[in-house]
């Protein structure tokens, strides 16, 4: 039976919603209370099924929504088509060029949004280049580490003109999405793109932050021998105490079978590393932008470069060794044709935080000074509590004596 794109996209969205109990509750609440009535929301997010459930939640809340991708490869075209049929303006397709990517960001901004939702900071930065528009924006929320770092740099340089809620930095997001979500989806993508084994391989994880820590522990769980590369002493010590081998990149490059970057930094794997890698080493990135692997440098030292499969490019070095780059060095868990992104249940948390942060901006944005804000703790607590409830996990309540004991400085023994 051949199904058209819209039907396939709708089914994907329905399946996602089924596994997003917290966001579904927020959607029902929004539907009754319409907290976003009359607002235009502009988003740059990975256009896939979980994101579509967030967009539908905002629409139920009374908003008009325009969305584009935050990565040229992560759009699921079926979802984009289905979402466009459900009242959102969608400007995204998989495989768009750099020009199309920026054109689409501009098209979202042309809808004169009151609130922005961004993943990586490109939409917010571009909005700042439109002097008239930026003064009308109530605020924004940012989804990922790289975006928050850029926005904090804008705040430091006193050029940030709007309040931004750093959804990424809330415990309800970072402890779960960055760590567990990226770990599962990165390894899922790696396996489905290459169909090669993880167990028994030497997997080099570069960056032992929230994302890297999750990937390292899940790769070990699959039987990989994991090496960690870190530049921060505390993280390096933590990785050592976790039992991982910690090496500088110049040593790790010689031994790795699979390299996964997760730093949010620039050119962490470079020419001097490619030159000493083993034949058939696999390279991929889980950080936000495609700058962690120096692809230009790799091309320069290669005598041959060719696409050998969808999402796999082969570089043959002058020494005859072959290196395989996945998904053009873009985040492997989202940019591959078979990459699914984070598990749905994880995005239930992250996007519930997004929905409630948008509601907060709708209420209070006009009174907030420009700056980068944490998600209000009551929102974080509410989302995490609802998630536990949906999963049937009960907390241990504190007795009155225990509460008193914690409050008191007099009671010792």
Ligand X SMILES: NC(=O)c1ccc[n+]([C@@H]2O[C@H](COP(=O)([O-])OP(=O)(O)OC[C@H]3O[C@@H](n4cnc5c(N)ncnc54)[C@H](O)[C@@H]3O)[C@@H](O)[C@H]2O)c1
Interacting residue ranges for ligand X, rule: CB under 6 A: 144-146, 178, 182, 206-212, 229-232, 235, 262-265, 268, 286-288, 331, 333-334
Quote the least distance from Cβ 255 to ligand X, whole Å: 16
Q: Which is nearer to ligand X, 218 or 288 (CB)?
A: 288
Quote the least distance from Cβ 265 to ligand X, whole Å: 4
Tokens coding 88 = 């959102």
DSSP states of 137-176 as a string?
A: --EEEE-SHHHHHHHHHHHHTT---SEEEEGGGSHHHIII
Q: Which is nearer to ligand X, 289 or 364 (CB)?
A: 289
Quote the least distance from Cβ 279 to ligand X, whole Å: 24
- Dihedral angle at the C-alpha atoms of 288, 294, 295, 298, nearest 10 degrees? -160
Q: Which is nearer to ligand X, 280 or 338 (CB)?
A: 338
Q: Which is nearer to ligand X, 24 or 182 (CB)?
A: 182
Quote the least distance from Cβ 159 to ligand X, whole Å: 21
Dihedrals phi, psi of 264, to nearest 5 degrees = 75, 10
The overall longest dimension of the chain from CA atoms, in Å, is 74
Quote the least distance from Cβ 44 to ligand X, whole Å: 14
Tokens coding 5 = 């794109």
Q: Which is nearer to ligand X, 214 or 365 (CB)?
A: 214
C-alpha 287/C-alpha 168 separation (Å) is: 14
Q: Which is nearer to ligand X, 141 or 145 (CB)?
A: 145
Quote the least distance from Cβ 36 to ligand X, whole Å: 26
Measuring CA to CA, how many Å separate 345 from each of 181, 269, 290, 296, 349? 9, 32, 26, 37, 7
3-state helix, strand, coil in the chain (%, to 5): 50, 15, 35
Quote the least distance from Cβ 289 to ligand X, whole Å: 7
Q: Which is nearer to ligand X, 113 or 287 (CB)?
A: 287
Strand 202-206's sheet: what is its strand order?
245-246, 225-229, 202-206, 258-261, 281-285, 322-326, 312-317, 302-309
Exposed, middle or buried by CB within 10 Å (0-12, 13-18, 19+), for 382?
Answer: middle
């Amino acid at each position: 039976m051949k199904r058209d794109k819209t039907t396939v996209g709708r089914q994907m969205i329905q399946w996602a919603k089924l596994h997003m109990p917290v966001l579904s509750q927020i959607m029902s609440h929004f539907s009754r209370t319409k907290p976003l009535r009359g607002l235009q929301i502009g988003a740059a997010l990975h256009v896939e099924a979980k994101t579509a459930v967030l967009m539908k939640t905002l629409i139920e809340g009374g908003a008009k929504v325009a969305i584009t991708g935050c990565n040229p490869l992560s759009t699921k075209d079926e979802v984009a088509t289905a979402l466009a049929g459900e009242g959102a303006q969608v400007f995204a397709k998989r495989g768009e060029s750099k020009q199309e990517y920026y054109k689409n960001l501009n098209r979202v901004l042309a809808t004169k949004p009151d609130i922005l939702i961004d993943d990586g900071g490109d939409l917010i930065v571009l909005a700042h280049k439109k002097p008239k528009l930026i003064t009308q924006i109530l605020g924004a929320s940012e989804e990922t580490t790289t975006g928050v770092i850029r926005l904090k740099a804008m705040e430091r340089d006193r050029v940030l003109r709007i309040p931004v809620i750093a959804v990424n930095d809330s415990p309800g997001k970072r402890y779960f999405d960055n760590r567990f979500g990226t770990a599962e989806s990165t390894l899922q993508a790696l396996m489905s793109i290459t169909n090669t084994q993880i167990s028994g391989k030497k997997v080099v994880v570069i960056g032992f932050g929230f994302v890297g820590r999750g990937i390292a522990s899940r790769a070990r769980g699959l039987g990989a021998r994991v090496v960690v590369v870190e530049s921060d002493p505390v993280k390096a010590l933590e990785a050592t105490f976790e039992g991982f081998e910690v090496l500088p990149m110049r040593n790790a490059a010689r031994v790795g079978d699979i390299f996964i970057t997760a730093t949010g930094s620039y050119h962490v794997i470079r020419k001097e590393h490619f030159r000493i890698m083993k034949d058939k080493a696999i390279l991929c990135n889980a950080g936000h932008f495609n700058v962690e692997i120096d692809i230009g440098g790799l091309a320069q030292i290669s005598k041959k470069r060719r696409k050998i499969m969808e999402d796999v490019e082969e570089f043959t070095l002058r020494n005859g060794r072959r290196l395989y780059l996945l998904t053009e060095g873009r985040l492997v868990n989202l940019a591959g044709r078979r990459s699914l992104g984070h598990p749905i249940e994880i995005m239930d948390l992250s996007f519930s935080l997004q929905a409630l942060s948008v509601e907060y901006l709708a209420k209070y944005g006009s009174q907030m000074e420009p700056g980068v804000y944490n998600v209000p703790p009551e929102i974080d607590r509410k989302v995490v509590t609802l998630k536990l409830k949906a999963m049937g996990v009960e907390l241990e309540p504190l007795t009155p004596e225990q509460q008193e004991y914690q409050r008191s400085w007099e009671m010792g023994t």
